[in-house]
A and B are shown apart, each in its own frame.
Chain A
Amino acid sequence: SAVISQKPSRDICQRGTSLTIQCQVDSQVTMMFWYRQQPGQSLTLIATANQGSEATYESGFVIDKFPISRPNLTFSTLTVSNMSPEDSSIYLCSVDGQGSAFFGQGTRLTVV
């Protein structure tokens, strides 16, 4: 399985600001995914980050709010823009491993 490093591990941010989360993989992967996990809830896919093309967003998530970069096959960033308390959540990156998903350690975001 791939080794996935995600940072920051946690942050407390003021409403109206933006936070960029980084995800680094130790091997080249075709697809990277960004999930949100609200407290006590399941994992909800935000978008699929494709290298060389725009990210594919799931229903309810838009690029202006969650811009994603994928400059190469080992790295991606997710930005949470113009944050509000409702954005407080855990954000996880993951990579595809022959159908399954392996996750970074997550970023616990609190918006105050």
Chain B
Amino acid sequence: GENVEQHPSTLSVQEGDSAVIKCTYSDSASNYFPWYKQELGKRPQLIIDIRSNVGEKKDQRIAVTLNKTAKHFSLHITETQPEDSAVYFCAATTGNTPLVFGKGTRLSVIA
């Protein structure tokens, strides 16, 4: 079955800097890759996603890139703000199976 590896497990950046979180997946049939943000004590919230027919997707300060050949995808957050501090999870699915989540990255944005 699918296995998703996520790095780093923790990340600290200065406010205004960029943050990058990377994930790799094992199942070449996976075709959908969402990213979730989970603030302390709250449910995971979908922030951006990408499908395998697209190499990059952007939404304001957040972007996701996908390299199908290498089976990895990344989350990029630019101009980070303190409210970006949270745990971020990547996930992957073939569409016929439930999502498989990475172990999460705890992002701290230091003002």
Contacts and interface: CB of A to CB of B under 8 A. Distances in A.
Interface residues of B, number: 20
Given A42-B89, A45-B98, A48-B98, A103 B43 contact: yes
Interface in B10-36: 32, 34
Interface string A66-93: 0000000000000000000000000010
A100 B34 contact: yes
A36 to B, nearest CB: 12
B85 interface: no
B44 A99 contact: no
Q: How large is the interface on A (under 10, 10 to 19, 20 to 34, 35 or more residues)?
A: 10 to 19
Contacts of B49: 99-100
A43 B99 CA distance: 10
B46 interface: yes
Contacts of A48: 98
Interface of B: 32, 34, 42-46, 49, 51, 89, 91, 93, 95, 98-104
27 contacts: A33-B98, A41-B103, A41-B104, A42-B89, A42-B102, A42-B103, A43-B44, A43-B101, A45-B98, A45-B100, A48-B98, A92-B43, A92-B44, A97-B46, A99-B32, A99-B34, A99-B93, A99-B95, A100-B32, A100-B34, A100-B46, A100-B49, A101-B34, A101-B98, A103-B43, A104-B43, A106-B43
